[in-house]
């Protein structure tokens, strides 16, 4: 009996990723993979490229795209669809699921002459609610992890073919991706991998189902040498083709000739590591400890289906910044959908699709929430869409709503060029300050969070101390890599949000306490905080190209000092393109430097990546301090510190005058 090898690879780069990163991925993985596979037309396989990445590759590597088209025409390749810009389909509205899937299917048909019947699910996030959109757009089957099926109570020995599910009366077939295959390919020697497939054939298995990241073939550590220089891929392909027990098939051909194994209903889940990453730090640590205990006791494989963790949507409740971005995206989607069809444009739809790219909404060992350039790409597209919407259907200039659904309303101020959202949480700070002209959100920062993996910093330092004391060396499992020097204090979590205009007050000798008791005052944009013998009124006002925040301090027991903090996201971060410029034109430093100035009234933040500048003007002289705000995160490359924003504080004494006005003026580069 022969076994069908259903072999698929998935290629994706985040919207907004650096061109050099994409070029490197193509040179080391995508292009190399295609050139090897081109030599073996009998080896049939499936591919999924996200639509945004396809557009980039057609522009930058047309010869390899022509190679991909030729392999498609000769029937070697089957195309899988999905959302065009790689959204998590479960996290966007049904109407956008349909347009995302249809856009990529149209793109594949136009460029390769075929329309996909199968689809890849981003991060293998499964919710049954996605079924209707998939079926409506012509998708007949998807591939998800066999873990999903185990969590539904299915027998692992039976996961060698497709099953059928339904939602709202619409049927979709589901292929279980073999975890055993994913762990072997391409990591075990090619001959052993082929022998393993042959053994499955002898046991009577119908198919071995593999679908995984193509980046494992060349980009993951040591894989370029292993897969291409040492010839793993060539050896594997030739071994499979030489075997009388293995045949390669596309999912489409297998699906056409086989019958379903029966009905199945999968729970909401993703791969098991993702289910850990979605949990808050204390819960993630407890969950990880439970898994490790089960492994140590030899019970993990038996109990794995019942060790579920969280779900992907938990990232919205874990990280308010991700939730704000997500709910703003949903609001823009609703505004676009409400437009008459004649007033919508393809560019509007494209901006929405790009703003729905999954990468910037979540964080784990992968995921891009901690990466400012990926969040910025979402905001660039979201604000470009809103600028286009404002031209035909302006949003209200003043609106109170609980957009992020946290029980605390926000006040939205808009004027066609600028948008400011004040959160009614006691701080009365801006959660967002956006320029539609520059398509940039100056409030797009990330506070410091406690992450479960931060414990490894202390563990690494303890291991280093023990090694110096002659107590031995750390095992490979305990070794931690650092891209930057990181002390435990660097990972200390913030105690309050990173907003724009959040105050502290008191005396320098006794310390300053947070002003966190603001309540909405009389008049639009007014907020009042008060105490025994004092009262501070903060008022926001939008003008054509500026935001002015006025402070009025009143009472017999005024604090000696009031300080306001502005956390401002700027694209250059601590790179060469960002710098401070004083009123006389001198440059005291870049955004990555700490800076202190007394008696300051005007300063400009110039950013070449932004293509504009932010001018800060104070009505009375203030003490000025600036420092970079950095977070500590871990990726597959190791721990790193990433600059998220410039943290600026302006402090003044109410005794010098009861009124202070601070203006942020946004200007595009001339």
109 is known as an active-site residue:
no
78 is known as an active-site residue:
no
Question: In DSSP terms, which residues pair with 639 in a beta bridge?
Answer: 482, 634
Angle of CA points 66, 233, 34, to nearest 5°: 5
611 Cβ contact list (under 8 Å, min separation 6): 438, 668, 669
Do 433 and 443 touch, CB atoms closer than 8 A?
yes
Radius of gyration of the chain (CA): 28
Cα separation, 538 vs 555, whole angstroms: 15
Q: How many helices (H) and strands (E) does the chain have?
A: 20, 27
Question: In DSSP terms, which residues pair with 552 in a beta bridge?
Answer: 537, 659
Closest C-alpha to 501, from 428, 441, 445: 428
**Three-state DSSP string of 366-430:** CCCCCCHHHHHHHHHHHHHHHHHHHHHCCCCCEEEECCCCCCCCEEEEECCCEEEEEECCCCCCE
Task: Report CA 509 to chain centroid distance, whole Å.
Answer: 43
Closest C-alpha to 609, from 583, 633, 579: 579
Q: Which of 166, 179, 213, 294 is catalytic?
A: 213
Cα separation, 445 vs 269, whole angstroms: 29
Sign of CA dihedral 517, 519, 523, 525: positive
Q: Around Cβ 562, how many Cβ atoms within 10 Å?
A: 22
Closest C-alpha to 444, from 455, 431, 425: 431
Cα separation, 324 vs 340, whole angstroms: 27
Q: Which of 78, 123, 173, 607 is catalytic?
A: 123
Do 448 and 492 touch, CB atoms closer than 8 A?
yes
Per DSSP (E only), the strands in 405-525 are: 410-414, 418-423, 430-435, 440-441, 500-507, 511-514, 519-520
Instruction: Supply the angle between the helices 62-73 and 94-112 in degrees, to the nearest 10.
Output: 90
Per DSSP (E only), the strands in 138-277 are: 141-145, 163-167, 170-177, 207-213, 246-249
Active site residues: 123, 213
């Amino acid at each position: 009996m022969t076994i069908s090898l259903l072999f698929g690879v998935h290629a994706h780069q985040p919207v907004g990723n650096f061109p050099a990163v994409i070029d490197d991925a193509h040179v080391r993985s995508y292009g190399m993979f295609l050139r090897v596979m081109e030599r073996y037309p009998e080896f049939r396989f499936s591919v999924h490229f996200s639509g945004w990445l396809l557009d980039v590759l057609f522009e930058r590597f047309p010869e390899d795209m022509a190679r991909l088209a030729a392999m498609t025409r000769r029937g070697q390749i089957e195309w899988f669809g999905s959302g065009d810009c790689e959204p998590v389909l479960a996290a966007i509205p049904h109407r956008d699921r349909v347009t995302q899937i249809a856009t990529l299917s149209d793109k594949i048909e136009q460029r390769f002459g075929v329309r996909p019947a199968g689809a890849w699910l981003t991060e293998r996030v499964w919710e049954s609610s996605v079924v209707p959109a998939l079926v409506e757009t012509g998708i007949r089957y998807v591939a998800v992890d066999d873990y999903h099926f185990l969590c539904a109570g299915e027998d692992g020995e039976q996961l060698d073919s497709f099953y059928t599910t339904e939602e709202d009366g619409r049927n979709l077939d589901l292929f279980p991706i073999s975890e055993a295959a994913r762990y072997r390919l391409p990591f075990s020697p090619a001959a052993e991998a082929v022998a393993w497939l042959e053994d499955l054939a002898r046991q009577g298995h119908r198919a071995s189902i593999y679908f995984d990241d193509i980046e494992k073939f060349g980009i993951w550590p040591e894989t370029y040498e292993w897969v291409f220089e040492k010839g793993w891929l060539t050896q594997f392909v030739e071994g499979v083709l030489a075997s009388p027990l293995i045949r390669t098939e596309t999912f489409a051909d297998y699906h056409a000739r086989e019958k379903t194994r029966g009905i199945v209903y999968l729970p909401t889940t993703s791969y098991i590591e993702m289910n850990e990453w979605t949990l808050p730090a204390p819960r993630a640590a407890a969950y990880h400890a439970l898994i490790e205990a089960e492994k140590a006791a030899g019970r993990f494989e038996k109990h794995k289906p019942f060790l579920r963790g969280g779900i992907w949507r938990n990232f919205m409740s874990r990280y308010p910044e991700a939730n704000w971005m997500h709910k703003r995206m949903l609001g823009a989607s609703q505004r676009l959908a409400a437009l008459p069809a004649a007033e919508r444009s393809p560019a509007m739809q494209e901006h929405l699709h790009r703003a729905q790219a999954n990468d910037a909404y979540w964080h784990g060992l992968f995921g891009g929430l901690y990466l400012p350039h990926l969040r910025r790409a979402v905001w660039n597209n979201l604000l470009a869409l809103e600028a286009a919407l404002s031209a035909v259907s302006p949003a209200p200039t003043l609106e109170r709503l609980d957009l992020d659904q946290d029980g605390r309303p926000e006040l939205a101020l808009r004027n066609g060029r600028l948008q400011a959202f004040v959160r009614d949480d006691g701080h009365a700070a801006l959660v967002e300050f956006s320029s539609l002209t520059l398509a940039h959100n100056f409030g797009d920062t990330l506070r410091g969070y406690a992450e479960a993996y931060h414990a490894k910093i202390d563990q690494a330092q303890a291991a280093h101390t023990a090694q110096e004391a002659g107590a031995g060396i750390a095992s490979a499992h305990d070794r931690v890599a650092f891209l930057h020097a990181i002390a435990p204090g660097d990972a200390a979590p913030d105690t309050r949000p990173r907003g724009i205009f959040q105050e502290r007050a008191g005396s320098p000798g006794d310390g300053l306490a947070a002003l966190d008791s603001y309540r909405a005052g009389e008049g639009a944009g007014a907020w009042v905080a008060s105490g025994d013998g004092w009262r501070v009124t903060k008022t926001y006002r939008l003008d054509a190209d500026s935001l002015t925040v006025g402070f009025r301090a009143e009472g017999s027991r005024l604090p000696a000092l009031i300080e306001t903090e502005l956390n401002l996201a700027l694209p250059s971060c601590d790179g060469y393109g960002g710098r401070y410029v004083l009123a006389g034109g001198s440059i005291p430093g870049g955004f990555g430097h700490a800076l202190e100035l007394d008696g300051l009234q005007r300063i400009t933040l110039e950013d070449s990546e932004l293509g504009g500048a932010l001018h800060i003007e104070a009505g009375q002289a203030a003490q000025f301090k600036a420092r970079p705000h950095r977070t500590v995160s871990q990726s597959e490359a190791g721990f790193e510190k990433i600059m998220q924003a410039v943290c600026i504080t302006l402090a003044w004494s109410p005794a010098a005058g009861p009124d202070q006005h601070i203006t942020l003026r946004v200007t595009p580069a001339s």
